[in-house]
């Protein structure tokens, strides 16, 4: 019944969900263990939204706040990648310690060798196990970069939700 209500909004997604299989007895955290429980335990489109998340390669909690970004930078616990265009950094500024890899180059950049990456982008290439935080102007392009890196096998990827605009606002207040 819940899937029927979402049918018009989700297009083909309910068919994908209905056809996906989980072995009997398998437990999926946060999800009911049978189709009847799935339909009976959720109302509206929330079921579809929860199920669609498992098709994403991005981890569930990926947003970083200003305070978290400051802590990560202070402790050198993350590689910060700014995905704006170089002219944007020159004109508006950048977060100190970040490496500029424009969004259109993220896919190829993360497949370069470490020396090539360093030569082209002026920083150490992140390893697949490094904590990487993407940033941009307002958090839109950084989310795209996060998804690209996750699809390439990078495990600990996040994005600074507020981006440069939030950074400047918070830095001016401090």
Residues annotated as part of the active site: 136
Residue 100's pLDDT is: 97
Tokens of residue 121, six digits: 């982008």
Residue 60's pLDDT is: 55
Q: How much is the CA Rg of the chain, to the nearest whole Å?
A: 20
Range(s) of the chain covered by CATH 3.40.250.10: 63-173
Residue 10's pLDDT is: 43
Query: Measured between alpha carbons, how far is 109 from 73 in angstroms, rounded to an integer?
Result: 22
pLDDT beneath 70: ranges in the chain = 1-61
Residue 62's pLDDT is: 85
| 1: nearest Cα among 34, 47, 54 | 47
Contact 143, 159 (CB under 8 A): yes
Arch. (CATH architecture) of 63-173: 3-Layer(aba) Sandwich (3.40)
Tokens of residue 82, six digits: 């700014």
């Amino acid at each position: 019944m819940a899937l029927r209500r979402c049918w018009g909004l989700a297009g083909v997604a309910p068919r994908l969900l209905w056809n996906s299989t989980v072995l009997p007895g398998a437990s999926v955290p946060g999800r009911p263990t049978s189709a009847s429980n799935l339909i009976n335990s959720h109302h509206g489109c929330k079921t579809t939204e929860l199920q669609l998340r498992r098709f994403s390669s991005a981890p569930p909690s990926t947003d970083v706040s200003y305070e978290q970004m400051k802590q990560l930078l202070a402790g050198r616990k993350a590689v910060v990648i700014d995905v704006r265009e170089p002219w944007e950094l020159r004109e508006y500024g950048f977060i100190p310690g970040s490496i500029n890899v424009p969004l259109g180059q993220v896919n190829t950049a993360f497949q370069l060798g470490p020396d090539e990456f360093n030569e082209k982008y002026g920083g150490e290439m992140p390893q697949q196990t490094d904590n990487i935080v993407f940033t941009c102007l307002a958090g839109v392009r950084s989310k795209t970069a996060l998804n690209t890196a996750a699809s390439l096998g990078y495990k600990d990827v996040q994005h600074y939700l507020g981006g440069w605009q939030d950074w400047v606002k918070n830095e001016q207040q401090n």
